[in-house]
RNA sequence: CGGGGUGUAGCGUAGCCCGGUAGCGCGCUUGCUUCGGGAGCAAGAGGUCGCCGGUUCAAAUCCGGCCACCCCGACCA
């Protein structure tokens, strides 16, 4: 552990704060490969919990897991014109194998549309084979120029769903349905509220008809694209000859969708909830829910307190929505470390609830519970400590979402505002600005060049303003849409 | 690829301008005292000063080259 006991404050230097939290909470570390990261057990524990829940949600919507190759023939990427244009600049390419130059270079997948739909083409003949609903958990490589732990690394872990359908309507429904699954997960589990909506043409996935996204606000008021869902139309079906015979006997191209979330979600989790004392993990994603810090002076007290601590640990039962059905509790019995030092160490790691138990507590048949998010302390009788902990975990989970949503709304601006005011906001504190847009790419580009702010999404109806802006933020022409503007990661 | 910066013990750093025995804090080891919000004292272990070359009696320090990483831009989940 480093000696510097204070993290940089969020307000003073958000980036430095973020890096310190990720490194010192031991979520990840820099690998000896440029732009690559090592996910340490603490970080991977969170990812495993995310995976398990998402996987359950995918199964519930009828998707099955499969696995496709890491290496893709370069020619596959080239079959869809827009796709190759979008991804070619950021691919890593294998040109040697077995000591010989390869006849055809192999691209390390930046995403798997091409290899997957080439297989779908073999598997689908009839409308009876559809819909085909597949998900893959995998790693991908995109040769980014500048990287940031979890948010943008050369290699990252993700899941990519790929489906094929009989009609455009069914594909569109699937695209929207999975966006909803993502939203439920992000809000229900990460306690990270999101704005959903459609991406503009300039931010659309390379090769898609339409792209939808979940956008979350980080504590520096910047937006994080936390998950995307694409309606691919028939673009890939045509490129890979993915056809089926319809109920009426016609041969038709299938309609595809793809959608994905990545380990970027861990970065989002950190930047949404954590504070100047370190990480804050929502209870539903915490690898350990409770840490017990025993307090004692003498050997005699030590034996007594530790014995009670372990008995409490063993008695703690299940919490809602949990699997396996038992709270994960750690007793921090390290010698030679004062309780205060342990408190700081576990706060840095974001464990949701800390239990302090000492001789005085045992005499009074109680223990002190401290919640990580607010650091509020309260004593509870040991007779019902399990219930108290379960209630506290539920409260923390709910409060984190409420707090994040309130923060987002407090930093959102709606209605017609002047462009000067907009620039001022983006230069200073940043915000989610819901402003009118004339629909032209020229206005979009110029605003991006001048302010670094981009249209994150054209928000879905429930996120639009009660009194929508009437004029384009930049040119003043009548607005054709309400756009969510923000600087983004 | 442009602009800026940094490489010294596990981590963080001083020393570099002005060459002369490589220092400090944290962590680690051992012992004693501590223990309800980051413990104290004592004794220890730990270094090819990023790499290669040059200048010099002498290089962490000066000169040349290389490498790596970080920050700011262009690119992006």
Which residues does residue A176 pair with via DSSP β-bridges, in sequence order? none
Distance of A305 CA from B30 C1′ (whole Å): 28
Q: What is the pLDDT of residue A324?
A: 55
Which nucleotide's C1' is closest to A145 (Cα)? B75
Which nucleotide's C1' is closest to A488 (Cα)? B76
Distance of A314 CA from B28 C1′ (whole Å): 34
Q: What is the pLDDT of residue A3?
A: 41
Which nucleotide's C1' is closest to A110 (Cα)? B77
Measuring alpha carbon to C1', the residue closest to nucleotide B26 is A3
Measuring alpha carbon to C1', the residue closest to nucleotide B72 is A146
Which nucleotide's C1' is closest to A454 (Cα)? B76
Q: How confident is the model at residue A2 (pLDDT cuts 50, 70, 90)?
A: very low
Note the pLDDT tens digit of each residue in A33-68: 788 888 999 999 999 999 999 999 999 999 999 999
Range of weakest confidence among A22-31, A186-195, A383-392: A22-31
Distance of A278 CA from B8 C1′ (whole Å): 30
Q: Can you tell me the mean pLDDT for A458-468?
A: 96
Q: And the tokens for A318? A: 């299940």
Which nucleotide's C1' is closest to A361 (Cα)? B36
Backbone angles phi, psi at A413, to 5 degrees: -125, 130
Distance of A184 CA from B30 C1′ (whole Å): 55
Distance of A30 CA from B18 C1′ (whole Å): 38
Measuring alpha carbon to C1', the residue closest to nucleotide B11 is A2
Distance of A32 CA from B49 C1′ (whole Å): 21
**Average of per-residue pLDDT values in chain A:** 93
Which nucleotide's C1' is closest to A202 (Cα)? B76
Q: What is the pLDDT of residue A318?
A: 81
For the cut 60, the answer to whether the pLDDT of residue A119 exceeds it is yes
Distance of A1 CA from B46 C1′ (whole Å): 16
Secondary structure E strands in A142-285: 155-165, 194-198, 210-217, 223-233, 243-245, 251-253, 255-262
Distance of A406 CA from B57 C1′ (whole Å): 72
Give every CB contact of residue A131 below 8 A, 6+ residues apart in sequence: A163, A164, A165, A166, A170, A174
Provide the whole-model pTM: 0.96
Which positions of strand B lie within 7 Å of protein CB atoms?
1, 10-12, 25-27, 33-39, 68-77
Q: What is the pLDDT of residue A146?
A: 84
Note the pLDDT tens digit of each residue in A202-226: 999 999 999 999 999 999 999 999 9
What's the ipTM?
0.88
Residue with tokens 């050369």: A154
Q: What is the pLDDT of residue A138?
A: 97
Please say whether the beta carbons of A472 and A422 come within 8 A. no
Percent of chain A whose predicted confidence (pLDDT) is above 70: 98
Tell how strand A71-73 and strand A100-108 pair up.
Answer: antiparallel
Residue with tokens 């790419």: A441
For the cut 70, the answer to whether the pLDDT of residue A322 exceeds it is no
């Amino acid at each position: 552990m480093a000696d510097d006991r204070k993290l940089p404050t969020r307000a003073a230097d958000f980036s430095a704060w973020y890096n310190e939290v990720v490194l010192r909470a031991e979520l990840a570390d820099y690998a000896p490969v440029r732009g690559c990261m090592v996910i340490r057990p603490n970080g991977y524990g969170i990812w495993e919990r995310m995976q398990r829940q998402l996987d359950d949600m995918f199964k519930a919507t009828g998707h099955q897991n499969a696995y496709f190759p890491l290496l893709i023939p370069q020619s596959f990427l080239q079959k869809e014109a827009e796709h190759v244009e979008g991804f070619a600049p950021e691919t890593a390419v294998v040109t040697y194998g077995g000591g010989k130059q390869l006849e055809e270079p192999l691209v390390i997948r930046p995403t798997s549309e091409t290899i997957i739909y080439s297989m779908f083409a073999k598997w689908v003949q009839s409308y009876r084979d559809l819909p085909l609903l597949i998900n893959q958990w995998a790693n991908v490589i995109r040769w980014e120029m500048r990287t940031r732990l979890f948010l943008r690394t050369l290699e990252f872990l993700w899941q990519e769903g790929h489906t094929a359908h009989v009609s455009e309507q069914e594909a569109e429904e699937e695209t929207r349905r999975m966006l909803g699954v993502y939203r439920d997960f992000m809000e229900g589990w990460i306690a990270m509220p999101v704005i959903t909506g459609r991406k503009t043409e300039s931010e659309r996935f390379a090769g898609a008809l339409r792209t939808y996204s979940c956008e979350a606000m980080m504590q520096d008021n910047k937006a994080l694209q936390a998950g995307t869902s694409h309606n691919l139309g028939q673009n890939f079906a045509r490129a890979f000859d993915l056809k089926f015979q319809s109920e009426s006997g016609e041969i038709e191209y299938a309609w595809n969708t793809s959608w994905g979330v990545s380990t970027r979600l861990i970065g989002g989790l950190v930047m949404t909830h954590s504070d100047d004392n370190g990480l804050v993990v929502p209870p539903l994603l915490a690898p350990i829910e409770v840490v017990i810090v025993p307090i004692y002076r003498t050997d005699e007290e030590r034996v007594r307190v530790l014995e009670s601590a372990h008995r409490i640990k063993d008695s703690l039962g299940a919490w809602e929505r949990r699997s396996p059905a038992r709270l994960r509790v750690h007793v921090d019995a390290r010698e030679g470390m004062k309780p205060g030092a342990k408190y700081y160490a576990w706060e840095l790691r974001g464990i949701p609830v800390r239990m302090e138990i000492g001789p005085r507590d045992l005499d009074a048949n109680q223990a002190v519970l401290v919640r990580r998010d607010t650091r509020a302390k309260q004593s509870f009788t040991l007779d019902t400590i399990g219930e108290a902990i379960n209630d506290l975990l539920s409260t923390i989970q709910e409060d984190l979402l409420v707090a994040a949503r309130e923060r987002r709304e407090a930093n959102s601006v709606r209605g017609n505002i002047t462009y000067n005011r907009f620039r001022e906001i983006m230069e200073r504190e940043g915000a989610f600005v819901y402003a009118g847009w004339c629909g032209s790419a020229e206005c979009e580009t110029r605003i991006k060049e001048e302010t670094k702010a981009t249209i994150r999404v054209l928000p879905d109806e429930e996120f639009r303003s009660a009194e929508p802006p009437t004029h384009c933020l930049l040119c003043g022409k009548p607005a054709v849409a309400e756009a969510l503007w923000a600087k983004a990661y």
